[in-house]
């Protein structure tokens, strides 16, 4: 089981933020919108890529299939992290 956060932020910015906060998820930078197009992460965002959500988190189960998607994901919301924790716990238990 893995959680993958895809953001329109640049790779260096993501790496610094993830290291500082010690997040236990994988991060992917999608500054071009290519991943957003392929994985339906379009929505109301901000900035030059405003047709895409700024952050989306995919929870991938042990079989490699996407088990849950948080679109958009609010990095500033405690409730968002609680929902992500619940999804990770649920998907982890399903794999056992």
Domain positions in the chain: 2-94
CATH of 2-94, one of 3.40.30.10, 2.40.10.10, 3.90.1280.20, 3.40.50.1000: 3.40.30.10
- Residue 90: the pLDDT is 92
- Residue 28: the pLDDT is 87
Count CB-CB contacts under 10 A for residue 40.
Answer: 10
- Residue 50: the pLDDT is 58
- Which distant-in-sequence residues (6+ apart) come within 8 Å of 2 by Cβ? 25, 26, 59, 60
Count CB-CB contacts under 10 A for residue 43.
Answer: 14
At which residue do the structure tokens 């610094």 appear?
16
For residue 8, what are its two tokens? 């329109």
Q: What is the pLDDT along the chain (96 residues), one digit of tens a residue?
A: 888 888 888 888 888 877 777 777 888 888 887 887 787 666 655 555 556 667 889 999 988 999 999 988 888 888 988 999 999 999 988 866
8 Å CB contact between 42 and 53: yes
Entry pTM? 0.78
8 Å CB contact between 56 and 50: no
């Amino acid at each position: 089981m893995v959680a993958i956060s895809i953001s329109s932020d640049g790779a260096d910015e993501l790496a610094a933020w993830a290291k500082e906060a010690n997040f236990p998820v994988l991060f992917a930078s999608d500054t071009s919108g290519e991943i957003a197009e392929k994985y339906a992460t379009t929505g109301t965002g901000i900035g030059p890529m405003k047709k895409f959500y700024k952050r989306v988190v995919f929870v991938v189960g042990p079989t490699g299939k996407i088990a849950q998607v948080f679109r958009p994901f609010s990095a500033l919301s405690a409730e968002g992290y609680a929902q992500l924790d619940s999804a990770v716990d649920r998907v982890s238990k399903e794999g056992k």
